[in-house]
Amino acid sequence: MDFETRLDLIKSVGEEIITERELRTLLETNEHPSAYDGFEPSGLAHLPFGVLRPILVEDMLKAGVRMKLWIADWFAWVNNKMGGDLEKIREVGKYFIEVWRAAGVDMSKVEILWTSDAAKNEEYWKKVITVAQNSTLARAQRALTIAGRTTKESVQTAQLFYPMMQVADIFWLDVDICQLGVDQRRANILAREIAEKMKWKKPVAVHHHMLIGLQGRKDPEGYDENGKLDEEIASKMSKSKPETSIFVHDNSDVIMKKIDSAYCPPKILEGNVLIEYSKYIIFRKRQSLKVVRSEKYGGTIEFQSAGELESAYRAGHLHPADLKRGVGEAMDEIIAPIREHFEKDPSAKKLYESVKAAETTR
């Protein structure tokens, strides 16, 4: 694959790249750079994790990047996920791996690593302490948004380790690229600053878009000075708020009901949930979006790109109810193979039922 195609693939993943010049240099000098994304094992898989992330991982792999998927079980423990039960957290980690497999990720091409394994090594903790020695308490508190915490919340002392550990992970894993959501920006910026200070390898940050929840955009109440970033964090689809999320185990009726309740004002693109899901999921998984309508309302129409859909919707040529029906049907078709894998494969079904039970009782 030629250089520009590789670069374009990674740029299609990154809503923000820090910096593109450094990424260009990296790809010019390294045919197979390494990248990582980290995941707290917590709860059932929703669209951002179970559908969007596999799409992005596949594009990174196509670009020749060696992907490391970091199962951040100790981070979930620190963050009191799954009731702070480390064994349940590890079970969710195994379930996460199965979700990626069901979503079509070639698991033979990615490296699966666990924080709990790294935590057994003294050198890992030396990295954590070195990062902490080169950061202030105020900086650690501001970075708590990476853990889904605001600067106004009361936090446990253990949670202050979270950003220090995340920054240390980057150097422990020895990666060239941090390929995480834009909500992890503060940790990656801190890592770049510490890399300069300590003369460690400075990572390129490739931040992907965060899908908004079904409720649409939210005011970033409780966050701090970066209004745009904090609005994105406050608005993202969250597993901890099931009413705002679509899960990979939702059946057709549930998906359609949730899509029907989604924020989708007529002729408005900004913050429109259905326009967003079309752009970031449907047109990355499929070549077109078909919207079935009666002849009375113009008949069936098929859009070949996100841009074409946006133009028609802005002009009022497509009613919100029709868009919801088309997106709902497309999303159901995309999710179906994952859902069916967990229904039909005995070991996958057992993992799903274990995680679902833990979610219900915690």
Question: How far is 279 from 219, CA to CA, in rounded Å?
Answer: 23
Q: Residue 226: what pLDDT?
A: 54
Global pTM?
A: 0.89
Instruction: Look at residue 361 in the predicted model and tell me its pLDDT.
Output: 47
- Judge if 283 and 196 occupy the same domain: no
Give yes or no: residues 134 and 206 share one domain: yes
**What is the predicted pLDDT for the residue at 1?**
82
User: Is 125 contained in some domain?
Assistant: yes
Region for 84 from its dihedrals, namely left if φ exceeds 0, alpha if ψ lies in -120 to 50, beta otherwise: left
Count Cβ neighbours within 10 Å for each residue of 18-29 and write b for 16 or more, e otherwise: beeebbeebbee
Domain boundary among 214, 237, 263: 214
Is the same domain home to 287 and 197? Answer: no
Tell me, what CATH number does 336's domain have?
1.10.240.10
Q: Do 270 and 335 belong together in one domain?
A: yes
Count how many domains the chain has: 2
The whole-number pLDDT of residue 362 equals: 44
Give yes or no: residues 129 and 21 share one domain: yes
Contact partners, residue 181, CB within 8 Å, separation at least 6: 48, 207, 208, 209, 210, 236
Same domain, 7 and 120: yes
Which CATH number belongs to the domain containing residue 37 in this structure? 3.40.50.620
**Domain region containing 276:** 249-361
Residue that finishes a domain, picked among 166, 197, 214 = 214
pLDDT of residue 154: 65
Give the residues of the chain that fall short of pLDDT 50: 222-224, 361-362
Model pLDDT, residue 332:
97
The last residue of one of the domains, among 168, 199, 214, is 214
The 3-state DSSP class for residue 71 equals: strand
Q: Tell me, yes or no, whether 48 and 126 share the same domain.
A: yes
- What are the CA-CA distances from residue 145 to residues 106, 217, 284, 286 (Å)? 31, 17, 28, 33
**Looking at the structure, do residues 169 and 58 belong to the same domain, yes or no?**
yes
Alpha-carbon distance of 276 to 166, in angstroms, equals: 29
Residues 88 and 177 both lie in one domain: yes
Q: Domain for residue 255, yes or no? A: yes
Structural domain contains residue 232: no
Inside any domain, residue 315: yes
Shared-domain flag, residues 278 and 164: no
> 297 and 351: one domain?
yes
